[in-house]
């Protein structure tokens, strides 16, 4: 049996838990202080950490998903059409590396969110020990997370773009979910779980939850559906079926925001500078460089290069229209 060591306040933990539930892969959920030992078993001590049945430990949600695909054939989350599989991966990567800024920003910019979520996350982690101990830990955690805001780009100066892109994403999702819960048919892909992981936190934090309840009520409710899709079977769309409008809308965001973000980060690192800036949706954005996101860009390019002629012919017009193609080719 697998053991998924994570936390309710971790978007990547919730992403993996929902995926494991959908895939019906036998596992147990290990949460809070009970998961601390697992962090000592991996090179980079971040959750979620998956303990495999053979006793080995692994983390980083995207490689975990693809490794599970190799080990378990049933109920795959990778569309069988290579073109759609690439699009699904691109959306998942966008969620992991850009939409996560919405999660972090909404959680740690305003006092009301800082206070509730630091206390709730401390409560989750400690599972008792008294209110004074819990709230003391909460204040330490709050200070650490707020101090990290400039590092991850979640500053007040950057938040107008983060919020505008979040609302654009949710506008498309709200229009979609009243017709279909999934993106590539009637069964979920890696893309849904990537988006769900980040939005699962917006559906809990006070400011973001109020925004979702008011303006995106069906997207808010959709989160509970994606959390456990173990009872869903469903089918993939036919390979020649048109893409849902939400895919076009989200890829436009990838091309307008995420690809320029990745390119600017990569160029800054190559130039030996520590910060970079972009303008997207008419709004400015600046942050420090991240080496991990250079790997993300290289991985996207490698996956695109691996597509055969037929798959490229199907996906290139979509990527060109959305402004993604030049950076990937």
- Give the pLDDT confidence of 87-98 residue by residue, as tens digits: 999 999 999 999
Number of Cβ atoms within 10 Å of the Cβ of 132: 8
Res. 36: pLDDT tops 90: no
Mean pLDDT of 63-72: 97
Bridge partners (DSSP) of residue 254 are none
Mean pLDDT of 308-312: 96
**How many residues would you count in the chain?**
329
Provide, rounded to the nearest whole percent, the portion of the chain with pLDDT above 90: 94
Is residue 293 classed as helix, strand or coil in its secondary structure?
helix
Question: Which tens digit of pLDDT belongs to each residue from 154-187?
Answer: 999 999 999 999 999 999 999 999 999 999 999 9
Question: Which tens digit of pLDDT belongs to each residue from 125-158?
Answer: 888 889 888 999 999 999 999 999 998 999 999 9
Mean of per-residue pLDDT scores for the chain:
96
- pLDDT of res. 128: 84
For the full predicted model, state whether its pTM sits above 0.85: yes
**What's the first-to-final CA gap in the chain, in angstroms?**
41
- pLDDT of res. 329: 80
- pLDDT of res. 232: 96
Q: Which helix (H) or strand (E) holds 137?
A: helix 131-147
- pLDDT of res. 268: 98
Tokens matching residue 22: 């959908």
3-state helix, strand, coil in the chain (%, to 5): 65, 10, 25
Backbone phi and psi for residue 27, each to the nearest 5 degrees, phi listed first? -160, 165
């Amino acid at each position: 049996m697998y053991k998924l060591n994570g936390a309710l306040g971790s978007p990547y933990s919730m992403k993996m838990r929902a995926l494991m539930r959908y895939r019906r892969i036998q596992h147990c959920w290990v949460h809070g202080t009970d998961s601390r030992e697992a962090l000592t078993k991996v090179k980079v001590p971040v959750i979620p950490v998956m303990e495999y049945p053979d006793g080995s430990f692994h983390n980083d949600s995207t490689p975990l998903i693809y490794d599970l695909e190799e080990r378990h054939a049933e109920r795959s989350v990778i569309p069988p059409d290579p073109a759609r599989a690439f699009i699904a991966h691109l959306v998942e990567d966008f969620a992991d590396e850009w939409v996560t800024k919405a999660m972090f920003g909404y959680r740690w910019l305003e006092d009301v969110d800082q206070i509730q979520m630091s206390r709730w996350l401390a409560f989750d982690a400690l599972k008792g020990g008294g209110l004074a101990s819990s709230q003391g830990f909460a204040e330490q955690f709050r200070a650490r997370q707020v101090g990290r805001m400039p590092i991850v780009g979640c500053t007040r100066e950057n938040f107008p773009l983060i919020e505008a892109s979040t609302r654009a994403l949710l506008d498309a999702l709200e229009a979609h979910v009243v017709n279909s819960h999934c993106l590539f048919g009637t069964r979920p892909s890696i893309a849904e779980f990537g988006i769900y992981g980040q939005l699962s936190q917006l559906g809990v934090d006070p400011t973001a939850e109020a925004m979702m309840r008011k303006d995106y009520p069906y997207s808010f409710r959709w989160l509970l559906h994606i959390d456990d899709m173990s009872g869903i079977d469903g089918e993939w769309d036919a390979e020649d079926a048109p893409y849902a409008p939400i895919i076009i809308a989200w890829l436009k965001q990838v091309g307008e925001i995420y690809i320029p973000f990745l390119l600017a980060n990569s160029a800054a690192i190559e130039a030996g500078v520590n910060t970079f800036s972009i303008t997207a949706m008419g709004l400015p954005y600046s942050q420090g460089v991240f080496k991990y996101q250079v790997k993300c860009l290289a991985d996207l390019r490698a996956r695109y290069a691996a597509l055969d002629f037929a798959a490229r012919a199907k996906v290139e017009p979509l990527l060109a229209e959305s402004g993604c193609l030049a950076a990937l080719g």
